[in-house]
Structure 1
Amino acid sequence: METILAGYKDQLTDLIQQYKNQVDFLSIRLEQAAGSSIVLRSNKIETLSESTSLGGQVRVCHKGGWGFAAFNNLENLKLRIEEAIAAAILIGDDETILAPIDPIQAVCTLPLSGTDPRQIPLQRKKELCDRYSDLLLSHSGKIASTKVSYGDSTQHIILATSEGTLIEQSWVDLEMRFSATARNGETVQTGRETTGSRKAYEDLENLDAQVKGAAQRAVNSLTLPAAKGGTYTVVIDPILTGLFVHEAFGHLSEADMAYENPDLLETMSMGRQFGGEDLQIFDGAAPEGHRGSYSYDDEGVPASTTQLIKDGKLVGRLHSRETAGKLDEQPTGNARCLNYHYPPIVRMTNTWIERGQTPVADLPTDIKEGVYAKNWLGGMTNGEMFTFSAGEAWMIRDGKIAEPVKDVTLSGNVFKTLKNIEAIADDFYWDESGGCGKGGQSGLPVGCGGSSLRIRDVVVG
């Protein structure tokens, strides 16, 4: 796989030298990818495929204007470069501001701890999906429909820039999703599980407990009472914490959201107090072994760890080179693209709330009536507002976990919710199930982490 692109290194260097003086910035990214995709709906095959792709992109900046060209014919590189240059010159009428970085020359591969999925035949992957589908369908006669999806992808890229950067990177990503829908008359409930890995195929082979759990939750929810709507003190598990910090706060930390929106930039002003002194929030691709981990972003900026909130105060945000330059801040290595069809934009990597000191068992203490929520079914955000659906939930009564309930959604304003965090537990969990969407680029692998939280005044519906 590597040999195909490696043969283009000298050509990329020569082309960069030929055209770099015509513009302020020029980068060429070549990519070779391969993957498998399987989708079963109630044991019927919806998708069963293997794919390969070879292509690239050219990005050009001139007087602040960007030109972009994507291609899948590497023999027409010169033409694509000239098209991107023409577009940038046509719209550029300002100043190119890119935060400076040192040029990098490197070859790096994210290490696997087990079997590369490319070594596993498609038939064996299909048999794994069949086994999980059978587990879902056989769990109960009330299971009306199921879905099992499997995906793996391998990407190998070369990035060359007019500043002297020449980077080769490759990685593998795997993901599986499971859902079971149970029906009892007119009552319908769904249980879901998602997991992913950048380490080994074996990480997907022993998920029986999670798969059965999805089916069990769907069946159990058929007879559970619905939660009574109201404002409660809630306790959420680390998975919901990770979802919250990613969706509700993380996107607001992406600097392209801020510098294009003066009101948001004022709201997200450095030094503003968003929570208590025990609140620490981070994002970074530098922590190894997670789905948002890598060595360099798609602009050649080294991976880092960025503290976003320190002792409750906003101290950082996530940048591309352009947003860092325009806001006079340091680049953070958060410019990412899903594949060569798209330009890099500011994206999260691995986002987490740091572990606290409160014992998990103490979180419900003194809550007269509240809600304990675990896992997630779905969610949405709109600016500062969020709504998440819990996968499981129980009422809290007189400081104890009480009866289970269903149809629990948690809603609120992210800034008020951060201030209303009363306790951060001493547990911690990395959720590798994330596939983030932004700017038309959906399914970008990310990691989310956190501890269980106790939060007052959350709207439950």
Structure 2
Amino acid sequence: MMVLSQEKINQVLKTALNKGGQFAELFFERKVSNQLSMESSKVETVKTGYNLGVGIRVINGDQVSYAYTDDLALEALLETAKVAGAASKYHDNVVINNLKKSKYDSPHQIQIRPETIEKLKKKEVLETVDQSARGIDERIQQVMVNYVDYTQEVLIANSQGLFVEDERVRTRLMANAVAADGQIIQTGRETPGKHIGFELFEEYPPEEIGKKAAEKAITMLEARPAPSARMPVVVNHGFGGVLFHEACGHGLEADAIQKGSSVYANRIGEKVANEKVTAIDDATIVNEWGAFVIDDEGHPAQETVLIQDGKLTDYMYDFKTAKKEGRESTGNGRRQSYRNPPIPRMTNTFIAPGESTPDEIIGSVDKGLYAKSLSGGQVEPATGDYTFTVAEGYLIENGKITEPVRGATLVGNGPKSLHRITMVGNDLKHAPGMCGKEGQSVPAAVGQPTLLIEEVTVGGTEREGE
């Protein structure tokens, strides 16, 4: 890649620390993205995006200054470095180490690079999804399909001598099928995505994506209103992990811990979940959506065990929060683009598999709810109180999945729900998503096996007598 020479980078870092400061960092990004969308069987959007720029960060104690530019000329970079360093107070021990380039081999092999595929071929993917979904049932009234791929190259260098590069290639397809019958409208959704190229569609054939989205919509269209009660809930594997991600995961990020805004602050070693629960953040999972070789501060990707057998073992750190505690980063420093400073973020965060089979878990429930898929939700970060919508749900009666129900919501508290997980399946699955925090959005995967929460408040739409 080497768009910026080592000599130029050294000049920029020295300029950033010219007025003091303890640490300076340069983050270069070049990102090319492609997006196609289809609605009403017509291509609505064909976009190519190009992001190119440099962000410069200066740290002095707890003070952080950040500036960025999309002009790579030396004069512009030096001016940006001056702006980033202007707020720093003089510091006697300003040290700039010689840059030493490190190379990490990527396990994320890309078989079919997206830029080698013509837009016409990508359009065919949308058409296949659309036709497949519409062919399931005449009650499918609308199909919306969105395809996106991007290639992001980053270069990171800092005053401690770090000098590394990485390339991330991600591809994703999002399909929404809308079914209607009179006044009742239901939506089915499928959204596969990974840190791979166009070979995504060998693992997830477009016709299957359209079919599954439509079948979900039709199933929920024919479902009866969900009951309201406190009951056992079996949450399906995969995107069910969004509940842990939102209700607990953000509270395990070190900035929330250090601000005192997390219920998990100062609780390392304490029991915070049922002993069957082990929770992990792992950016090294090969070709997973939230994976990378290095984070956006240049630290190698790693696996961090957050909860082990119910006990809290660690938090997720970036460079700044780790420095504050005199420890190493866990490789969780992430940013949306060169315009943003890095902050602690999740990567691929999931509950580890247990020993029970999904059938054993469902068979243990006399009367409850099977949440096959979740959609949107709301979480109060300080407490972990949550409300999640069940996109596809079924009743469990006498240990068997019976009729589908619609309109169910799960209402509870994340930390309390972790204690109420009494069975954990052996069928771990991950699912992609975009995680938002402080105005930044980054790709992050969620995941879990099938699991049983022994009691959750289920809010339903069933009326008396139905």
Matched, 1:127 2:107: no
Matched, 1:39 2:24: no
Residue number in structure 2 paired with 1:81: 81
d(CA) in 2 for partners of 1:63, 1:370: 53
d(CA) in 1 for partners of 2:393, 2:262: 36
Residue number in structure 2 paired with 1:154: 151
The structure-2 alpha-carbon separation of the partners of 1:265 and 1:390, relative to structure 1 and needing over 3 Å to count, comes to: closer
The DSSP-based 3-state class of the residue aligned with 1:269 is coil
**Among candidates 309, 312, 324, match of residue 311 of structure 1:** 309
1:69-95 alpha-carbon deviations (Å, 9 max, x no partner): 111111110000001111344xx99x9
Answer whether contact 2:256 2:262 (CA < 8 A) is retained: no
The structure-2 alpha-carbon separation of the partners of 1:107 and 1:287, relative to structure 1 and needing over 3 Å to count, comes to: closer
d(CA) in 1 for partners of 2:345, 2:107: 19
Residue number in structure 2 paired with 1:421: 421
Q: Give the letter for the 1:118 counterpart.
A: E
1:283-306 alpha-carbon deviations (Å, 9 max, x no partner): 021232212211221112221111
| Divergent runs of 4+, >4 A | 107-110
Answer whether contact 2:129 2:209 (CA < 8 A) is retained: no
The structure-2 alpha-carbon separation of the partners of 1:241 and 1:131, relative to structure 1 and needing over 3 Å to count, comes to: closer
1:185-208 alpha-carbon deviations (Å, 9 max, x no partner): 111111111110112312135132
Q: Equivalences for 1:250-269 in 2 at 5 Å? A: 250-261=249-260, 264=263, 266=265, 269=267
Q: Equivalences for 1:200-349 in 2 at 5 Å? A: 200-204=197-201, 206-261=205-260, 264=263, 266=265, 269-349=267-347
d(CA) in 2 for partners of 1:317, 1:218: 39
1:196-242 alpha-carbon deviations (Å, 9 max, x no partner): 01123121351322321111221222221011011111111112442
Q: 1:376: Cα distance to partner?
A: 2.3
Q: Give the letter for the 1:194 counterpart.
A: T
d(CA) in 1 for partners of 2:241, 2:336: 21
The DSSP-based 3-state class of the residue aligned with 2:191 is strand
Q: 1:111: Cα distance to partner?
A: 3.4
d(CA) in 1 for partners of 2:240, 2:181: 32
d(CA) in 2 for partners of 1:219, 1:452: 24
1:153-212 alpha-carbon deviations (Å, 9 max, x no partner): 101111110110011111201111110111111111111111101123121351322321
The DSSP-based 3-state class of the residue aligned with 2:199 is helix
Q: 1:347: Cα distance to partner?
A: 0.4
The DSSP-based 3-state class of the residue aligned with 2:304 is strand
The structure-2 alpha-carbon separation of the partners of 1:186 and 1:19, relative to structure 1 and needing over 3 Å to count, comes to: closer
Answer whether contact 2:252 2:262 (CA < 8 A) is retained: no
Residue number in structure 1 paired with 2:439: 440
1:369-414 alpha-carbon deviations (Å, 9 max, x no partner): 1111112222222221122222322111112222221122222101
Q: Give the letter for the 1:319 counterpart.
A: Y
Q: 1:125: Cα distance to partner?
A: 0.9
1:304-352 alpha-carbon deviations (Å, 9 max, x no partner): 1111101101110001121122244432010001111111111001111
Q: Give the letter for the 2:282 counterpart.
A: G
d(CA) in 2 for partners of 1:356, 1:103: 43
d(CA) in 2 for partners of 1:352, 1:73: 39
The structure-2 alpha-carbon separation of the partners of 1:332 and 1:283, relative to structure 1 and needing over 3 Å to count, comes to: same
The DSSP-based 3-state class of the residue aligned with 2:111 is coil
Structure 1: segments with no counterpart, 5+ residues: 97-101
d(CA) in 2 for partners of 1:209, 1:302: 36
- Range that drifts further, 250-259 or 236-245: 236-245
d(CA) in 2 for partners of 1:262, 1:103: 38
Give the structure with the larger helix fraction: 1
Residue number in structure 2 paired with 1:399: 399
The DSSP-based 3-state class of the residue aligned with 2:211 is helix
The structure-2 alpha-carbon separation of the partners of 1:7 and 1:413, relative to structure 1 and needing over 3 Å to count, comes to: closer
Q: Give the letter for the 1:390 counterpart.
A: V
d(CA) in 2 for partners of 1:103, 1:283: 29
1:86-116 alpha-carbon deviations (Å, 9 max, x no partner): 1344xx99x99xxxxx976226556324101
**Among candidates 5, 9, 15, match of residue 8 of structure 1:** 5
Matched, 1:55 2:53: yes
d(CA) in 1 for partners of 2:364, 2:433: 34
d(CA) in 2 for partners of 1:133, 1:174: 19
Residue number in structure 1 paired with 2:185: 188
The percentage of aligned residue pairs carrying the same residue is 30
d(CA) in 2 for partners of 1:19, 1:364: 59
Q: 1:440: Cα distance to partner?
A: 1.0
Tell me the TM-score normalised to structure 2 length: 0.90
- Range that drifts further, 255-264 or 400-409: 255-264
Matched, 1:105 2:106: no
Matched, 1:177 2:211: no
Q: 1:262: Cα distance to partner?
A: 5.4
State the Cα RMSD in Å: 2.2
1:339-369 alpha-carbon deviations (Å, 9 max, x no partner): 1111111100111111101122111234221
Answer whether contact 2:150 2:169 (CA < 8 A) is retained: yes
1:398-432 alpha-carbon deviations (Å, 9 max, x no partner): 1222222112222210111110111111222122x
Structure 2: segments with no counterpart, 5+ residues: 460-466
Q: Give the letter for the 2:58 counterpart.
A: V
Answer whether contact 1:259 1:265 (CA < 8 A) is retained: no
- Range that drifts further, 333-342 or 55-64: 55-64
**Among candidates 440, 447, 450, match of residue 449 of structure 1:** 447
Residue number in structure 1 paired with 2:458: 460
Residue number in structure 2 paired with 1:168: 165
Residue number in structure 1 paired with 2:22: 24
d(CA) in 2 for partners of 1:155, 1:106: 17
Q: Give the letter for the 1:437 counterpart.
A: G
Q: Give the letter for the 1:33 counterpart.
A: K
Tell me the TM-score normalised to structure 1 length: 0.91
The structure-2 alpha-carbon separation of the partners of 1:60 and 1:389, relative to structure 1 and needing over 3 Å to count, comes to: same
Matched, 1:362 2:385: no
Residue number in structure 1 paired with 2:464: none
Answer whether contact 1:239 1:376 (CA < 8 A) is retained: no
